[in-house]
Chains A and B, each alone.
Chain A
Amino acid sequence: MTETRAATVRETAGDGGSRPPHDRTSARRRRWWLEVGWKYFFAAGIIFYAAFPLVYILSASLNPRGSLAASNAIFSAVSIENYMALGDTYFWAWYGNTLLIGGIAAVGAVVIGAAGAYAFSRFRFSGRRASLSGLLIIQMFPQTLAFVAILLMLLAIGEVVPALGINSKISLIALYLAGALGANTFLMYGFFNTVPIEIDESAKIDGATHAQIFWRLIMPLVTPILAVVALLAFIAAFGDYVLAKIVLVSEENWTLAVGMYQWVSDQLTSRWGLFTAGAVLAAIPVLVLFLSLQRYIVGGLTAGAVKG
């Protein structure tokens, strides 16, 4: 508002008060530039800031020379050599591991979180408030802080049940599921409360059991929040480095985070082409999921889930 007024004042002073009609349109245009037009330039600046690294990685992935130095000339050469070369590495095994682990962790998180939210939302039991508060507190302590104990515990478990020890994808999934109740119950609890309890009651009168109400009535009604929780759990598992690094020892069991870190930290310049091609491929599922569920995620984020 002030800017506009200042602009008008300056204009009137310059023109000496009398304005022919064509000046009015130019004044309006100037006002538009001052209030709205510049925002497009600003947006262009932000887009450059936000997208430059992504454009760069795309160009580097298409650069057949594959070194860090050669990648600086954006789109100087285009070939899919790097993408083909991924076939000679463990990349696709890592990709499969990551999708598998993330997928199972996401489904598990949804089931555990939904069941927990259902219990807190529909049953009244002693210790309910205390358990909810307890969960809220526990989920603030990141599991990663205890990774030394996790490592030693998995070594001990591995002596008893080798399938659950170190280097097992199952134990990594179990570790991810440990946070499921604390992190997701709150998000889902609020959503479950918006489903009217009368629906449960009428089903109960019709003879439905609590399990039937949960699986057949409530779950279909809360699908949006299930999608959000699944996505958040998937992204969390997808992006985890520290637990995956501790648990997965042998190279063919690694996830993308562990494997691609190794590529970049070991031989930065020589593997750059491989890394960028792999990164483009790895980012695709997350980008697609994220952008397609964007509307839901914004709601989920503001309800308390924070990334980075």
Chain B
Amino acid sequence: MGGLSNAAYLFIVAVGLSLVFGALRVINMAHGSLYMIAAFVTVVVANRLGLALGFWVGLLAAVIVTGAVGVLIEIVVLRRVYREEHLIQLLGTYAVTLIVAGAVRIIFGSNYRTMSPPQLFSGSLSLAGYRYSVYSLFMIGAAIMIAVGVNLMLYRTALGRNIRAAVSDSELLSASGVNVARLFTTVFAIGAGLAALGGVIVAPSQAVGTSMDSDVLVLAFAISVIGGLGSIIGSAVGAVLVGEIYSFGLVNPYTNQFALAFVFIIMTAVLTIRPWGLFGRAEQ
């Protein structure tokens, strides 16, 4: 269960990373930074407003703040590097992670912060002889809802159709009358929003600190690579795999030093057999 609740927030973060890569073909190193901003905003707002409403107001504030930062990053940084090679894009978004990390330290300080789950989802309940925290169940439920929501958005709306079209041919899309620049900003904002939701949901379950950007980025990359970049099902399966293996590694006192290594052993194994990931498609 600990594994599944880890899988839940990791999925939410990884699906945003994957969506952005699928449409914009940019590997967004700053994705973890957006997640961290959201977690800090949630903790600060929640601790100020209290148990009943704090989490929910924090969620709203975090999504708005992070979405705005995301839009800013897309317009200021990404628009300049879409036509460049991946290395330049990596450097550009990596620079953003450094700037955000510095800004977070200045604004929030470098102490760890914690918060309690919202009243609605506090406590625990027993199921089939085991006790589960209600908040873990909420995390899993939220991840499933987000998976369904992203899927509906992609396959049932005009926006989703345009995003899928941009994945295959953004030039033809603009010649068909679609404002691709605005579409890309929208996709990036959605990606930032997903990073934010991941950060909000994780905030009551872990200590919020200034290293959480790179911590989550490494795992989200592993998930995307295992599942196949650009694939939602892949992100889900990858998240469950990574979440379970990572938790298994952490729980066991003999292996908790090497928990991350387990993740990368799995990733290496998948890449050896299917270099494009479990559900990805080989690039032509």
A and B found bound together? no
Using a CB–CB cutoff of 8 Å, the interface residues on chain A facing chain B are none
Residues of B in contact with A (beta carbons under 8 Å apart): none
